[in-house]
Amino acid sequence: MRKLWGGHFDEPTDVLIERLNNSLVFDSRLWREDIRGSIAHATMLGSTGIIEVGESQTLVAGLAKLEADLSEGTVTLPEDAEDVHTAVEVLLRDRLGAVAGKLHTARSRNDQIATDIRLYLRGVCEVVDRELALMQEALLVHAETEFETVLPGFTHLQHAQPVVLSHHLLAYFWMLDRDRERLNDTRRRLNRLPLGAGALAGTGFPIDREQVCIALGFDAVIPNSLDAVSDRDFAIDFISFAAITMVHLSRLAEEIILWNTPEFGWITLHDSVTTGSSIMPQKKNPDVAELARGKTGRVFGDLMSLLTLMKGLPLAYNKDMQEDKEPLFDSVDTLLLVIPAMRKTVATAKFRADRMLAATRGDFSTATDLADYLVQQGLPFRDAHTVVGKVVQHCTERRIGLEDLDESTLATFSPLLERDTKAALAVLTVQSCVAARTSQGGTAPNSVRAQYQLAKARLESSAPQ
Ligand code: ARG
C-alpha cells in the first residue's frame, strides 16, 4: 500500500491493518475538492515565498492537468493508496517528480481532510437545495388546481373537519421551506476555512490563510487551529437537516401509501413510479413511497453514528474521525435518490376528487359547524357542543349522516334550530363548512388561494441560483 509516511518504520504494516486503515474506498469521491484545496495551497506557498514561484506554478499546472485527466478518465486514482490525499500526491509525483514533495509544506492531512469535506458539502448543499425547490414546485403545480377539492381532514386519523386538497399539499410545501432554511444555515456555518491549522497547532511557515480562504470561496478563516481540525459540527448539522427532511418526506410517503389503498382510493400513482408483484397479477405497489419511508431509518442511523462518533473525542484530530465520511455520504446519497423519486411520484400522481368527496359523506365532519351556528344564535359553545352531540348520537343510531337529516328532525334538538332550520341545515354541507373557515391560514378556498400566492412568492424569492 502506498503511503505518505514510513521513514521511521522498519517493518511493513500488517495487511489486515492496512485494510482497516484504508479510506480510499470511500474518500475517493473527494478527489476534486482535494485537488482544488491543493491548488489554493500551492498558489499561496508561492506568493508567500515559502517555495519558489516557479515551483508553485509547476505544482498548480500539474494539479490542474491532473484534475482534467481524472475528469476525462484518462487517468484513475491508484487503488493501492492509503487515502485520497495519498492517491493525488502519488499521481502528482509520477508526473512532476521531486517537486511534488513540496506541496505538503505547511499542511497536514488533518486540515486537508477538514477542508475537503467542507468544500464537498458546500457543493452538495447547492444540489440538494435545487432538488427541494423542484419538489416544492411539484406540490405547487397540484395545489394550483385543487382549491375546491374537498376531502376529510384528520386528527387521530379520524375524520375531523373537511379541508381542501390544496391546503393539505401546501402543508408539505412549508415543511420543505423550513428544510431549505435549515440547509441554508448549515451551508453558512460550514463555509469556513480549516486549512492552515496544520496537524493541530498551526505552522511556523509564513502562510497566508486569508489568501487561501478567498481562493476557495470560504467566508472566513477558522480562528482556532485545534477547533479547525477537530470540528465535525458541520457534518452533524447536515445530517440533522437530512434527518428532518426525511421525516417530512416519510410523512408524505405514508399519506401516499394510505391514499393509494383501495379503502381510500384518493390517489392514482403513475406506472413509472410503482412496481408489480411476481405472484399477484393485480398488484401495483407504491414502492417509492415505501422506500422513502424506509430509508428515513438509515439517515437517522447516520445521524446517530456521527453523534456517537464525536461525543467522546478529546482534542484535536483522532483517527476515529475518518469514520465520519460513510454516514455523511450515505445521507447525501439517500437524499439525492429519495427527493427526486418522491418528486416524480407527486408530479405524476392523479388525485381522485370524487372519492375524496364521497369519503366525507356520513363522517360527521361538519358537526363543529353546527355547533358554531348555535353559538352565532347566542348559545354558549359548551351547550352547543352538547346539543350537537345529541344530534350525532341520533344519526349514529339511525346509521345516517348529518347531511341526511331532514328539517323537522333537526328542529327537535333545540329551539334555536327550530328558528331557521333551513339555515341550520345549510351549514352541514362540506362546501359551506370549508368556505366558512376564512381565517388566515384556514381552509376556505379563498384563504388557501392567498396562502398559495404566498408560497409561490416564497419559492420565487428563494430560487436556487
Ligand atoms: N483519512 C483521514 C480522515 O479521513 C485523513 C486524515 C488523516 N490524518 C492522519 N493523521 N492520519 O480523517
164 found inside a domain: no
pLDDT at 301 over 80: yes
Distance of CA 450 to the CA centre of its chain: 26
Same structural domain for residues 232 and 313? yes
C-alpha cell of 318?
Answer: 483522532
As a whole number, mean pLDDT of residues 172-180 equals 98
CA-nearest residue, atom 2 of ligand 1: 322
427 found inside a domain: yes
Cα angle, residue 270 at apex, residues 265 and 271 outer, rounded to 5°: 115
Same structural domain for residues 183 and 309? yes
118 found inside a domain: yes
pLDDT at 5 over 90: no
359 found inside a domain: no
Distances (CA, A) of 300 to 173, 242, 254, 305, 445: 22, 9, 17, 9, 37
Distance 232 CA to ligand 1 centre (A): 13
CATH of the domain at 29: 1.10.275.10
Among candidate residues 85, 248, 277, 331, the one labeled active-site is 277
Same structural domain for residues 384 and 398? yes
Same structural domain for residues 82 and 230? no
Give the SS3 label for residue 257.
helix
Tens-place pLDDT, residues 374-393: 999 999 999 999 999 999 99
Same structural domain for residues 264 and 136? yes
Choose one of 327, 352, 377: the last residue of a domain.
Answer: 352
Tens-place pLDDT, residues 446-464: 999 999 999 999 999 998 8
Same structural domain for residues 179 and 305? yes
pLDDT at 465 over 80: no
Ligand 1: atom nearest CA of 83 is: 1
Please answer whether residues 59 and 50 qualify as being in contact, where contact means their C-beta atoms are separated by less than 8 angstroms: no
Same structural domain for residues 270 and 187? yes
415 found inside a domain: yes
Same structural domain for residues 326 and 378? no
Question: Is there a catalytic annotation at residue 439?
Answer: no
Phi/psi of residue 108, nearest 5 degrees: -130, 160
CATH of the domain at 373: 1.10.40.30
What gap in Å lies between CA 450 and CA 279, rounded to an integer? Answer: 48
Domain count, the chain: 3
Q: For residue 178, what are the domain limits?
A: 110-142+171-200+218-352
Distance of CA 385 to the CA centre of its chain: 42
Whether residue 230 has its Cβ less than 6 Å from ligand 1? no
Whether residue 318 has its Cβ less than 6 Å from ligand 1? no
Whether residue 83 has its Cβ less than 6 Å from ligand 1? yes
Choose one of 352, 387, 414: the last residue of a domain.
Answer: 352
213 found inside a domain: no
If one residue of 2, 19, 23, 200 were mutated to test the ligand 1 pocket, choosing by the most ligand atoms within 8 A of its CB, it would be 23
Ligand 1: atom nearest CA of 321 is: 12
Alpha helices for 97-164 (secondary structure H): 109-143
Same structural domain for residues 246 and 278? yes
Residue 118: how many CA atoms within 13 Å on its side-chain side? 31
Whether residue 110 has its Cβ less than 6 Å from ligand 1? yes
Choose one of 293, 322, 352: the last residue of a domain.
Answer: 352
Distance 45 CA to ligand 1 centre (A): 22
Whether residue 365 has its Cβ less than 6 Å from ligand 1? no
Same structural domain for residues 188 and 283? yes
Residue 2 pLDDT grade (very low, low, confident, very high; cuts 50, 70, 90): confident
Distance 61 CA to ligand 1 centre (A): 26
106: left (phi over 0), alpha (psi -120 to 50) or beta: left
Ligand 1: atom nearest CA of 325 is: 4
Among candidate residues 156, 278, 408, 461, the one labeled active-site is 156
8 found inside a domain: no
Same structural domain for residues 290 and 335? yes
193 found inside a domain: yes
Same structural domain for residues 260 and 322? yes
Percent of the chain with pLDDT over 90: 95
Tens-place pLDDT, residues 308-350: 999 999 999 999 999 999 999 999 999 999 999 999 999 999 9
CATH of the domain at 117: 1.20.200.10
